Amino acid sequence: MKTNASSTKHTAEERVSISLKSLIDLAKVSTSIKQKKAPATNRQSGQYNAHFKGRGMAFDESRLYQPGDDIRSLDWRVTARTGKVHTKVFKEERERPIFLSIDNRAAMHFATRGVFKSVQAAKLAALLAWSAHHHGDRIGGQLFSEQQCLEFKPQNGQRAVLRLLNALSKPTPAPTTRLDLSHALARLTHHAHPGSLVYILSDFRGLTDKTLTHIINLSHHCEVALLFIYDPLERQLPSQGQFHFTDELRTLLIDADDTLALNNYQQQFTQRVDTLSQLARQKRISLLHCCTTDDPLTCLTQPQSITALTL
């Protein structure tokens, strides 16, 4: 019997929180996240042709230009300094830093079906971390909320994975400040080393032009993959009835007869989807979507189009 990364049935506790044991148990199924090798097409090509790009090439040294060298690899700084044409030499990266940026803001602690978005993000992050560990890559990243932004320097081994999973399984403190998505991604652009593979797991609420600029700047020196996590209600609002939502502190009433409010909410979600899809197409950034009712392993192993989330 095939084991899925998430079961179709969850207890009440499993729907709203994640345990360290559950995240550790994902180590076995994460081996099915494959990265297929493909022939390199030039000196700067990566080692993998996969759903997400794998390891790449790292700068080794500069040497005098030789006939047949790729002119795109010319080292203009050394050339200008010495007066002789030099070219950059690259070597294959055996260990590529993997950065996981995980959104743990209040809006992620929500779902109407399946599991909380925060739980889904934790499972996706654990699968990616374990897969990176199996491939011998270094794992680091950040876990951010309105209150804090925890950052983890890339390290090798199981201890690096457990360090991240332990943070994911801890309760989220009540927010006392208002750190936003843009602030977290601004920190990430300075934290992620050039050549890293960066995953951003979020519902991307609060997506602004400033946020998009940070993602674009990050893509200039890193491989970027966006994992868009959403709840079914966000994609399709109810057509009738009244619905009460609470975080045990506040209560929100949604009345399906209030078409103006519902249309405004729906438009915000649609715009977020369109903005992310356009960004992915224009900047060659990977974009996957994962609903709170989806199996996270399936989301990572089955090919998706950046336009797969149609409304």
- Is the pLDDT at 191 greater than 50? The verdict is yes
- Is the pLDDT at 144 greater than 90? The verdict is yes
Neighbouring C-beta atoms of residue 305, cutoff 10 Å: 12
Compare 307 and 121 and report the one with higher pLDDT: 121
pLDDT at 33: 84
Compare 246 and 12 and report the one with higher pLDDT: 12
Grade residue 99 by pLDDT with cuts at 50, 70 and 90.
Answer: very high
C-alpha–C-alpha distance, residues 65 and 75, integer Å? 9
Kindly state the average pLDDT of the residues 246-273: 73
DSSP 116: -
> Cα–chain-centroid distance for residue 286?
9
> In which residue ranges of the chain is CATH 3.40.50.410 found?
12-35+95-301
pLDDT at 260: 77
- Is the pLDDT at 224 greater than 80? The verdict is yes
Which CATH superfamily is 12-35+95-301 part of?
A: von Willebrand factor, type A domain (3.40.50.410)
Three-state SS letters, 148-197: CEEEEEEECCHHHHHHHHHHHHCCCCCCCCCCCHHHHHHHHHHHCCCCCE
Q: Judging by DSSP bridges, how do beta strands 138-144 and 97-103 pair with one another?
A: parallel
Grade residue 61 by pLDDT with cuts at 50, 70 and 90.
Answer: confident
**How many CA atoms lie within 13 Å of 286's alpha carbon, on the beta-carbon side?**
21
Highest mean pLDDT among 10-19, 31-40, 297-306: 10-19
The angle at the Cα of 51, spanning 232 to 198, to the nearest 5 degrees, equals 80
Compare 112 and 49 and report the one with higher pLDDT: 112
Q: If DSSP codes are grouped into helix, strand and coil, which group holds residue 69?
A: coil
Kindly state the average pLDDT of the residues 82-104: 83
- Is the pLDDT at 267 greater than 90? The verdict is no
pTM: 0.76
Kindly state the average pLDDT of the residues 116-123: 97
C-alpha–C-alpha distance, residues 292 and 116, integer Å? 7
**Integer Rg of the chain from CA:** 21
Supply the mean pLDDT for the chain. 81
pLDDT at 54: 46
